[in-house]
Structure 1
Amino acid sequence: MQAMIFAAGLGTRLKPLTDTMPKALVRVGGAPLLEHVVRRLIDAGCSRMVVNVHHFADQITDYLDAHNYGVDIHVSDETEQLLDTGGGIKRAASLFDQHQPVLIHNVDILSNVDLAAFYRHSQEAKADAMLLVSRRITQRYLVFDSNMRLVGWTNVDTGEVKSPHAEIRQLHFVSPTEEDSSYYQNNCYLCAFSGIHVLASSAVQAVEAVDAEKFPIMDFYLNNCDRLDIRGELKTDLHLLDVGKLDSLQAAEDFIANSEYRNSKTEN
C-alpha cells in the first residue's frame, strides 16, 4: 500500500496553537496528529507515504527526519503556494509508485475505518477512484447512482446540484433524516464524504493532466465522474472525528482512548 497524507493546511480553526506550529504536529493522545495517521497507515500495511507541507513546513520535515518509522516517507513541498487537495495530489504525483493505487488521508482525521480493507476493496472494484462515504447528516452530499457510481453533488439547503449529467442537474434533493430510506432519492444515494479516498494510477494520471496548479480534488471528481469510474464505499458504522477546532481536542483524546479506535488499527 502507498498513501498520501494531507498535512499542508493552515489549521486556522486551531489557533492559537497553529500560530507557532503546523496542525499536523498538534498533540492528542500523547502524540502529534501526524504520528497517529502514520501509525494507522503502517498498521494497514502501508510501506510508502507522501506528506505534503506548507504551513511551518520545516517543523514537519524536521519531525519526520527525527523519527524513523521504518517505511519510505517522502515530502511534497508546497511552501511557495498552498495548492489545495487536487493540486497537492498533482504536485506529489511524481513521488508515487505509478503501479499502485494511492490512499489519501487528511492529517486531522481520526476514525474506526479498516484502511487495509478499504484499500483492498478499491483494488477489487477496479475503479478509477473510490471514496469512503457515510450517512452522516450534513448540508452537502455526494450523489451516487444505484450502483454507487458518483454522478454529482448537492447542497440540500440551497437546492444547488453539480453534475456533468444534465438529467442529474434537474433533480431536487431534500435533507435526509436519521432513517436509512431517506438517503435514497430520485434513484440516487446521498452520502457524506469522509475525507478518505483511493485513486488508481489512471485517476492520478488524469489529475496530472488538469490544466491548473491549484484546485480541489472534489471539483476534479465532479468534473470527471461522467468519464471516470468513481465509486463510493458506504460505511454504515463509521465513527470519524475531524480534529479541526480547539473544542475537538478533548473529543480526540477520548476517541483515541476508545477501544473501537484501537482495535480498528489491527483489523483486516
Structure 2
Amino acid sequence: MKAMLFAAGLGTRLKPFTDHHPKALAEVNGKTLLEHNIRYLQRFGIEDVVVNVHHFGDQIIEVIEENSGFGSWVTISDERDEVLETGGGLKKAAEHFRDEESFLVMNVDVLTNLDLNKLIEEHNRNLAFATLAVMDRDSSRKLLFDHQMILCGWENKETGKQRIVRPTSFRSMAFSGIQILTPQILDMPFEGKFSMIDVYLHFAEEYLIKGFDHTGNVFIDVGKPDSLEKASYLFE
C-alpha cells in the first residue's frame, strides 16, 4: 500500500517555531514529526510515501534527501507555488495513487498508536469508498455518523453550523486525520484550494464513507507547543 503525508500546512498553531520552519520538522524526543510518521508507516509495511510540501518546503526536501527517506521511498508533491489544503493537495498528487486498490492518507502532525492493519481490514471488509479514523474526544469540529458509523454530516460545535447529507440521528466524532481511500475518490469535482471534508461530504450522499472508532488509542494532534511536550512523554 502507498501512503501520503500531508505536510504542506502553515502550522500557525505551532508558532513561533513555524515562523522559520515547517511543522513537519518540529521534534518529539529528537525526531521530527516527519520521521516519526514515516517510521510509523513502516511498521505496517508501508514504505512508498508521497509527501506534499509548501511552507518552507525546501527544508523538508533537504531533510528527506539527507536521510535517504528514513528508509522509505519518498516522493515529493511540490505545492510551493500555492497552498492547496488537504483536498487540493491530494488531487495534485492523484497520479501516484490511481493504480492502487486503496491507499492511506494522514496528517504529518498527528501521533498515534492506532493499529493501521485493523483500519485497513475494516475498510476492505466494508468495501468502503473511504474509511476515516475517528475518536470520541473534544474537538470544535466533528463528523456526524449514524448507528452504523456511516458518514452523515459535519458540524462546528462553536458556531452551531451543520452540513447534513443523510438526515438521521447522529453520533458526533472527532476526525483523527487518518484515512483509507479508494482511487475513485480522486475524481473529486473541486479545483484549487479545498478540504478533504468537502470531498467526503460530497461523496457521502451516494457512496459508503465509514468511520472507524479508535477511541482508547494513544493520539495527539501536535498542533501547539504544549502538545509537543506532552507527546515527548508518550512517543519515543
Question: Could you tell me the TM-score, scaled by structure 2's length?
Answer: 0.93
3-state SS of paired residue (1:194)? strand
Q: Once structures 1 and 2 are overlaid, which stretch shifts more, 37-46 or 238-247?
A: 238-247
Aligned to 1:250: 229
Task: Name the % identity.
Answer: 42
What are the superposed Cα offsets for residues 24-55 of structure 1, whole Å, 9 maximum, x if unpaired? 11111111110000000011110211000001
The Cα shift of 1:142 comes to 1.2
8 Å CA contact retained: 1:45, 1:116: no
User: 1:142 touches 1:150 (CA, 8 Å); kept in 2?
Assistant: yes
| Alpha carbons 1:163, 1:223 under 8 Å: kept | no
After the TM superposition, which residues 144-159 of structure 1 pair with which residues of structure 2 at under 5 Å, given as runs?
Answer: 144-159=145-160
Secondary structure in structure 2 of the residue aligned to 1:141: strand
Pair 1:30–1:199, CA change in 2 (3 A)? same
- 1:189-211 deviation per Cα after TM superposition (whole angstroms, max 9, x unaligned): 2211111111111222x32xx23
Q: Which moved more, 1:63-72 or 1:16-25?
A: 63-72
CA contact (8 A) 1:24 1:33 kept: yes
Matching residue of 2:177: 195
- The count of corresponding residues between Structure 1 and Structure 2 is 235
State the Cα RMSD in Å: 1.6
CA offsets, 1:190-238, max 9 Å, x none?
A: 211111111111222x32xx23121000011112201121000111313
Please name the residue that 2:102 is paired with: 101
Task: Tell me the amino acid that sits aligned with residue 142 of structure 1.
Answer: L
Aligned in 2, Cα 1:211/1:111: closer, same or farther, shift over 3 Å?
closer
Distance 1:128 1:19 in 2: 38
Q: 1:238 aligned to 217, 229, 232, which one?
A: 217
Paired residues of 2:147 and 2:171 also in contact (CA < 8 A): yes
CA deviation profile, 1:96-118 (whole Å, cap 9, x unmatched): 25223121111110112112321
- In 1, the alpha carbon distance for the partners of 2:18 and 2:156 equals 30
Which amino acid is 2:172 matched to?
L
1:156/1:250 CA distance change after superposition, 3 Å: closer
| Residue of structure 1 in register with 2:86 after alignment | 85
**Contact persistence 2:113–2:217 (CA under 8 A):** yes
Q: Which residue of 2 aligns with 1:4?
A: 4
Superposition map of 1:70-219 within 5 A: 70-96=71-97, 98-165=99-166, 167-168=167-168, 186=169, 188-204=170-186, 206-207=187-188, 210-219=189-198
Do the aligned residues in 2 keep the contact of 1:74 with 1:95 (CA within 8 Å)? no
- Output the CA distance in 1 between the equivalents of 2:112 and 2:88: 25
Q: The residue matched to 2:118 in structure 1 has which SS?
A: helix
Match of 2:48 in 1: 48
What stretches of structure 1 of length at least 5 have no aligned partner? 169-185, 258-268
One-letter amino acid of the counterpart of residue 125, structure 2 = E
* Preserved contact between residue 142 and residue 153 of structure 1 (Cα < 8 Å): yes
Query: How far apart, in 2, do the equivalents of 1:43 and 1:79 lie?
Result: 30
Partner of 2:23 in structure 1? Answer: 23
Q: Quick one: distance in 1 between partners of 2:151 and 2:57? A: 34
Structure 1 or 2, whichever has the larger Rg, is 1
1:147 CA displacement:
1.7
Deviations 1:71-102 (A, max 9, x none): 32110000010000000000011122522312
| 1:108–1:242 CA contact under 8 A, matched in 2 | yes
Give the Cα–Cα distance (whole angstroms) in 1 for the partners of residues 103 and 36 of structure 2: 19
Match of 2:38?
38
Question: Following the alignment from structure 2 to structure 1, what is the Cα–Cα distance between the partners of residues 83 and 140?
Answer: 26
